[in-house]
Structure 1
Amino acid sequence: MSATEPRQSRSKWLAALWLVPFALFFFAFQIAPLIWITLNSVNVDGSWSLANFEKIFSSKFYLQAIKHSLQVGFWSSLFGIIIAIIGSYSLHQVDSKLRDFVMAFSNMTSNFAGVPLAFAFIILLGFNGAITLLLKQIGWIDDFNLYSKTGLIVLYTYFQIPLGVMLLYPAFDALREDWRESAALLGANTWDFWRHIGLPVLTPALLGTFVILLANALGAYATVYYLTTGNFNIMPIRIAGLVSGDISLNPNLASALSMVLLGLMALITIVHQVLLKRSYHVAR
């Protein structure tokens, strides 16, 4: 045994020891709550049962919450990633000072959520908001309801864009300029380049970003709660109402609804992995 082997072994044990606080923190705030929610979701009056899930999937009210969450999450993620793609690509074409400013601004606005964001949108796009009144005066819109599903999609899209830009901007670094020049020399136009080179290279990043944006939308609570005072029927609002409500207090049903939300995210992640493998296969 060389003299360096005991030293390397001690270094590995020391590194593992430094991971213990993180492991304890992760178990206490991630694994333990998940176990608690899982057990309580199948607990009905002290006995094991799937009655909570049966109640969710047989109730039009909770099915509507699931539907609204998926609709708002999907469309806001789709619009957000489309705008983020355009913005990220454009940032690679502009001056570095402007690019740094936009990235810093995106970093700041990605954390602008909750009560301040809801208040800002009420001032701008509420029934008597500045932009709403201006668009009505111009004649571009007859009416706009910020507190409806369409209004929430607009609101969600706003806070999806900065996150999408920060996630997608590094992905465009993988597109080398000499690839475009080589494709042009071989007779490929812009559409051919993006179809056969650009999109296959960016597909993993696009799919991953879309899943993150969708998860971000499905779990959003504070902004929509303060905007609609909890009256819009989406899953986070229903879960919170079942946990803290004075009339409809039912933490076990809230746990079951949380498991449904977790199941939706797991399904979306599985679909993402399948599409990702197919994209790698096509790229090859």
Structure 2
Amino acid sequence: MNASLEPGSQLAAAQPTAAPRARATFHTRSKWLAALCLLPFALFFIAFQIAPLAWVALHSLSVEGGWGLGNFEKIFASRFYLQAIKHSLQIAFWSSLIGILIAILGSYSLRQVDSKLRDFVIAFSNMTSNFAGVPLAFAFIILLGFNGALTILLKQIGVIEDFNLYSKTGLIVLYTYFQIPLGVLLLYPAFDALREDWRESAALLGAGTWDFWRHIGLPVLTPALLGTFVILLANALGAYATVYYLTTGNFNVLPIRIAGLVSGDISLNPDLASALAMVLVGLMAVITVAHQLLLKRSYHVPR
């Protein structure tokens, strides 16, 4: 009887050992397959993101055949380039701030309306978020230029006395236009995190609308709000086509200066353009680090 049980006992002893080995082999093959599928993306990322950034960083340190910080010294010693940095930051900040405030109201309101209207607004926001460059500049010239239809109408009814689309204020209005739909698309899903039973519970405990948003709503939305604000800042800081075609490259912002130094016939200086590009990268790095620090200090409400 002991002999007849030996094969079964051997099989039972082998099964616990074979199963982990099979699982380990399967996980190993899955990891290699995932890495293989990720390889094209990695190559694309290195070729079109890391390599150009490394090239720009390297050439920003090239000074008349040598190496040094001369390009950066020239930038920060020049009032012209400092003005470009100032204008870029001001336009990006105010357009992002106004854009995200309107996007918050729009995203919250979309939760309260009919689904058909909501779908239409989301589709419209998706379309207008990509409406930039020459068409957007041409549209704003027709509407808000010196002889634009809306400008003349507002002057006639006494709302405004004068408006210059080609000034810093005009560019803030223009940038805000394409910031709003992007902000709506980014913030609309974030409002899913707010549960209706939280509002009801807060009301039962005697909390008003302001108390709910101060202690529950805003802390829950803080990561999404900060992340969206950073994306809007990056979107505005890097905008080039719209402001170029609107002002024909005459307004002093960083992207215009970089393009002028790369493609200009008179002021051709790719190394200085690389340094300006690294300044732009540095500004975004500072904003991103500040964003991460603020996220760590934000409230975390358990779901």
In 1, Cα distance between equivalents of 2:214 and 2:163: 38
Tell me what 2:3 maps to. Answer: none
Tell me what 1:173 maps to. Answer: 192
1:146-169 deviation per Cα after TM superposition (whole angstroms, max 9, x unaligned): 000000000000000000000000
Return the letter of the residue paired with 2:150.
Answer: I
The question of 1:28 aligning with 2:18 is answered: no
Tell me what 2:13 maps to. Answer: none
Q: CA deviation at 1:10?
A: 2.0
Tell me what 2:70 maps to. Answer: 51
Tell me what 1:258 maps to. Answer: 277
1:37-95 deviation per Cα after TM superposition (whole angstroms, max 9, x unaligned): 01100101121110000000000000000000000000000000000000000000001
Structure 1, unaligned runs of 5 or more: none
TM-score, normalised by the number of residues in structure 1: 0.98
Return the letter of the residue paired with 2:165.
Answer: L
Larger Rg: 2
In 1, Cα distance between equivalents of 2:294 and 2:206: 30
Supply the RMSD in Å over aligned alpha carbons: 1.1
Listed as ranges, the matches of 1:134-173 within 5 Å are 134-173=153-192
Tell me what 1:39 maps to. Answer: 58
Return the letter of the residue paired with 1:79.
Answer: I
1:116-154 deviation per Cα after TM superposition (whole angstroms, max 9, x unaligned): 000000000000000000001111111100000000000
1:235-282 deviation per Cα after TM superposition (whole angstroms, max 9, x unaligned): 00000000000000000000000000000000001111111111137x
Listed as ranges, the matches of 1:10-159 within 5 Å are 10-159=29-178
- DSSP 3-state at the match of 1:143: coil
Tell me what 1:270 maps to. Answer: 289
- DSSP 3-state at the match of 1:93: coil
Tell me what 2:252 maps to. Answer: 233
The question of 1:279 aligning with 2:301 is answered: no
In 1, Cα distance between equivalents of 2:289 and 2:39: 30
Structure 2, unaligned runs of 5 or more: 1-17
Return the letter of the residue paired with 2:24.
Answer: E
Q: CA deviation at 1:7?
A: 3.1
In 2, Cα distance between equivalents of 1:73 and 1:7: 50
Tell me what 2:227 maps to. Answer: 208
In 2, Cα distance between equivalents of 1:83 and 1:3: 55
In 1, Cα distance between equivalents of 2:82 and 2:232: 22
Q: CA deviation at 1:222?
A: 0.1
Q: CA deviation at 1:21?
A: 1.2
Return the letter of the residue paired with 2:145.
Answer: G
TM-score, normalised by the number of residues in structure 2: 0.92
Q: CA deviation at 1:22?
A: 1.1
In 1, Cα distance between equivalents of 2:229 and 2:159: 31
In 1, Cα distance between equivalents of 2:43 and 2:91: 35
Listed as ranges, the matches of 1:175-194 within 5 Å are 175-194=194-213
Task: Report how many residues are paired.
Answer: 283
Identity %: 83
Q: CA deviation at 1:215?
A: 0.4
In 2, Cα distance between equivalents of 1:3 and 1:266: 45
